[in-house]
Chains A and B, each alone.
Chain A
Amino acid sequence: MLERDISETLQQQVHNAVVNGAPLKIEGGNSKTFLGRETHGQVLDVSGHRGIVEHDPRELVLTARSGTPLKEIEAALADAGQMLAFEPPHFGEAPTLGGTIACGLSGPRRPYCGSARDFVLGCKLINGKGEILRFGGQVIKNVAGYDVSRLMVGAYGTLGVLLEISLKVLPRPAASYTLVQECTPAEAISKMSRLLSQPVPVDAACYHAGHCYLRVSGSEQAVKHAHAHLGGEMIEKSEPFWHALREHHLPFFGSANLLYRVIVKPATPPLEISGEWLLDWGGAQRWLVSDEPLALICERIATVGGHVTQFRGGENKGEIFQPLAAPMLVIHQRLKSSFDPNGIFNRGRIYANL
């Protein structure tokens, strides 16, 4: 049985906030509060708005309320031999679907299968006027109207309160192994980048502590062939490693006072910024433990066409995300006020003036 729909209660709380001019801080499972800039306001607790509304495995679509625990969704999908292919990080005990989508984070499979936003098909939300709106739908192809559902991904709740989300889901691969090889960071980058133009069933690739890890997935035979072709030592039960990487449980992350997320083109050679590096996403997402200030790292990364987030640690009152170019900031501000004219949702969570 589906639990009670509390959309209208949440809508009333938004109405009250608009009337009182009191900003709201949207909260689900409180697992990603560490991310982004500090935001103040009355807590709008969405975690009570929960439950899987629909999941028909043959349609490859799941619709759930935003407060639904991610674990509940993953368990239901696993029962049907399916998964959220973007492997969302949990970063805590009780992450919800809403927070997962609002933060838009994706795990190791991302470069090979798509990101959180790639799997969003539709959503229901409350905008800053207290209106309940639906965009997208529960079908894989839908180009009616602007793609508001995907705009919500990574907007950190600054544009609206997510109530319900429809996602495309995929079957779990029949078999999955990891191949490990000792090498230098430069060798790993070159190897992982070469794989992009080869027809190999790699669905995760990282470089950590002197070793390149490639996860190959697919049918049993295909995976064996891939091993023969790619070489390396094969680990059969490798999921704990990828889980630890995704959840930042590897010892590398434990040492972090200040952890940066650096996004670059995958073939970008090792970057000369002092600190410890771990390369995920085949070299496209690099984690950096460093004492250097954000501004300096941003400047360096901008020269190679990438961007940086101060992910964990440090103070969260200043910039956390790479600053936007002035004309882009103007568009962001106009978009923000088109959804939230009174600026009540998660004020300043991404940028100070948004």
Chain B
Amino acid sequence: MLASEDGLPCNRDVHEDLLRKLRALLPSEAVLTDKEDLRPFECDGLSVYRRLPLVVVLPETITQVQAIMRLCHALQVPVVARGAGTGLSGGALPLSNGVLLSLAKFKRILHIDPENAMATLQPGVRNLAISEAAAAYGLYYAPDPSSQIACTIGGNVAENSGGVHCLKYGLTVHNILMLKVVTMEGELLTIGSETLDSPGYDLLALMTGSEGMLAVIVEVTVKLLAKPERTQVLLVAFDNVFKAGEAVGAIIAAGIIPAGLEMMDRLAIQAAEDYAHAGYPRDAEAILLCELDGPNAEVSEHIMEVREILQQSGATEVRTAANEAERQLFWKGRKSAFPAVGRISPDYYCMDGTIPRRQLPHVLRQISLWSEEYCLPVANVFHAGDGNLHPLILFDANKEDELARTEEFGQRILQLCVEVGGSITGEHGVGMEKINQMCIQFKAPELNQFHAIKAAFDPAGLLNPGKAVPTLQRCAEFGAMHVHHGQLPHAELERF
């Protein structure tokens, strides 16, 4: 037995047996082992973590997926499932001794049922393609992560993806009805149903956001919504970021739930404007994008009310999109904020913490202090309506120490999010990236409960092992631990 680069056991005989049997199950072009063929699968959207898998398989039927899983289970080979690879937390990072199971060939929209407002999809269908196909019936699929052109519905379910309309329309978990999944043992299960609820435990909720740890998603049925009669967006400028934060609370206090409520700070505004030419005011300290949708008459009333609230909150400019093209342009700026920041800095590190909205001034002040302390600029992009912060830390990985300082800075931000009553991740998932921070958010018995849940689905522990939920050992080594009522949670473990 040899050890591979990630320290995992690697047994040549088992691997040869595995490859031979995979080639018997699948056409030759669906089993990749050459280094150059494996390269595109070495990372997901979080490219600081890279590793080549032992083999990539590209099945195209559920039966093939079941056969692959049964084989891997029999040979005790770990499996990592992958959609489009747009995930931002390293959830699809391969294992050097494991199979990377790509669902890329599952691309078909199986059925759109306008009468019951739902669609059945293979997991490799792109998020945006669902709404495009449903448009003919006046319907759409609500969750719209910024990567919606590329990301796939299977990955959306695995990560419980959000987007810019979560406050009103929810996350993926609120917008799906049924899954077909294949367990590590190769069993095909139907979870949820085409109806609004199902007998037994809510396994649909448990499976959503489980980051490929419980089963492989092979079919998804989503709920579709009627396209609103009217959608309008306001672009609002402020000379002070805290005034913008106050305005968000004031809109919600008035009993209005905007479809989207996004905030960007000066650095993000300038980067986005240079990139997308969205017409953002370059001299503003903060902008809000406030989207209102619904019946025409209601949107008109709400625009009037929101304008008044914004003026009272000290907005320096309130602009209503003149037409649909301008509305799309306002959003283009926001949705391209990440690549825009990517242009002004060699590297950036995107955080994904959530906080209760009232904590925004405190958290922004602290981030700005740390930004000075670490000499690392931060661009803030914020799903303001639902408290989901995306501070982007700008750094240069080629400069000595900068990645390490960035990671330390990022960790302090996440710790702060937990301290003020929030979470280390709002929509990007834990994956590999935030596995240590899980030790801050959860106590040992809670982590043990998570491990027990995984074991209920995957007793052999072969599906995406080592992601999403840290071992207690790892937390002890990590050192920064959840301290509950002044007691160390892992007192039973030896310290390193």
Q: Could you list which residues of chain A lie within 8 angstroms of chain B, going by C-beta atoms?
A: 56-61, 81, 104, 110-111, 114-115, 117-118, 127, 129, 131, 133-135, 137-148, 150-151, 153-155, 159, 170-172, 174, 193-194, 196-201, 218-219, 221-222, 224-226, 263-267, 281, 284-285, 305-307, 309, 321-325, 327-328, 331-332, 334-335, 337-339, 350-351
Contacts and interface: CB of A to CB of B under 8 A. Distances in A.
Given A143-B429, A306-B195, A338-B449, A81 B255 contact: yes
A304 to B, nearest CB: 9
B83 interface: no
A141 B387 contact: yes
A307 B193 contact: yes
Contact of A143 (B115, B214, B224, B425): B425
A117 B113 CA distance: 24
A122 B282 CA distance: 39
- In the A-B complex, the 3 residue pairs with the smallest Cβ-Cβ separation, listed nearest first, are A150-B205, A338-B452, A141-B426
B255 A61 contact: no
A266 to B, nearest CB: 6
Interface in B336-367: 354-358
A59 B195 contact: no
Contacts of B423: 137, 139, 141-144
Contacts of B209: 143, 146-147
B226 A196 contact: yes
B457 interface: yes
Interface stretch (B99-107, B162-170, B311-319, B372-380): B162-170
Contact of A139 (B159, B253, B387, B468): B387
A218 B386 contact: no
B49 interface: no
A324 B195 contact: no
Contacts of A306: 193, 195
B402 interface: no
Interface of B: 113-117, 137-139, 159-160, 162, 166-167, 170-171, 173-174, 187, 189-190, 193-203, 205-206, 208-210, 214, 224, 226-229, 249, 252-253, 255-257, 294-298, 300-302, 354-358, 383, 386-388, 421-430, 434, 438, 441-443, 445-446, 449-450, 452-457, 459, 468-469
A105 to B, nearest CB: 10
Contacts of A57: 253
Contact of B426 (A110, A133, A142, A284): A142
B170 A114 contact: yes
Given A151-B201, A218-B298, A328 B255 contact: no
A332 B198 CA distance: 13
A305 B193 contact: yes
A146 B166 contact: no
A199 B294 CA distance: 7
Nearest to A221: B297
B357 A58 contact: yes
A154 B195 contact: no
A41 B82 CA distance: 46
Given A110-B196, A150-B206, A196-B115, 17 more contacts: A58-B253, A59-B358, A138-B356, A141-B426, A145-B441, A146-B210, A148-B450, A199-B138, A201-B295, A263-B197, A265-B113, A265-B116, A306-B195, A323-B199, A334-B459, A338-B449, A338-B453
Contacts of B445: 127, 129, 131, 133
Nearest to A155: B201
B356 A226 contact: no
B356 A61 contact: yes
Contacts of B459: 334
Given A59-B356, A221-B301, A305-B193, A147 B449 contact: no
Contacts of A284: 195-196
B191 to A, nearest CB: 8
B257 A171 contact: yes
Nearest to A142: B423
Contacts of A267: 115-116
A134 B446 contact: yes
A59 to B, nearest CB: 5
Most buried by A among B114, B196, B424: B196
A328 B180 CA distance: 12
Nearest to A219: B298
Nearest to A308: B199
A59 B386 CA distance: 9
B197 A321 contact: no
A118 to B, nearest CB: 5
A199 B227 contact: yes
Contact of B449 (A56, A58, A127, A281): A127
Nearest to A172: B255
18 contacts: A57-B253, A59-B358, A104-B197, A114-B174, A118-B173, A134-B443, A137-B422, A137-B423, A142-B354, A147-B160, A151-B203, A199-B138, A222-B297, A266-B117, A307-B199, A331-B203, A331-B456, A338-B452
